[in-house]
Amino acid sequence: MIEKPSLSDLTALLTAFRDERDWKKFHTMKNLLLSLSLEAAELLELAQWQTDEELEARLHDPGVQERLREECADIFLYLLLIAERAGFDLAQAGADKIKRNAAKYPVEKAKGSAKKYTEL
């Protein structure tokens, strides 16, 4: 296993894992998007019925940490599969989005505010 893999390394590992099991036929875009949503819902379960303070306090619990890691990893891996299926570089898409958000939310207008860019 690669010590600190890049996104392309992880994508290669993930697609090799998928292909060894002949699962690509199940990985239609629709199925990947649905699976991503289901995994995101599992992540949300960690916050269900918790106040902000209760959830923050539980973040140091090893069991909560493990579930958080696993659910985030599931979401991340589905995002890699979606990007691979659609043929784009997820890291570049993320960098591009940060740049667009910086233009929408200039520091002088957005700092300390939770308003949407259309309200700034």
Q: Is the pLDDT of residue 2 over 90?
A: no
How is the chain split into domains, by residue range? 29-109
pLDDT digits over 17-41, tens only? 999 999 999 999 999 999 999 999 9
The CATH class of 29-109 is: mainly alpha
Compute the distance between CA of residue 4 and CA of residue 84 in angstroms, rounded to an integer: 20
pTM of the model as a whole? 0.89
pLDDT range class, residue 1, cuts 50, 70, 90: low
Give the residue among 37, 33, 45, 14 at the shortest CA–CA distance from 86.
33
pLDDT digits over 54-106, tens only? 999 999 999 999 999 999 999 999 999 999 999 999 999 999 999 999 999 99
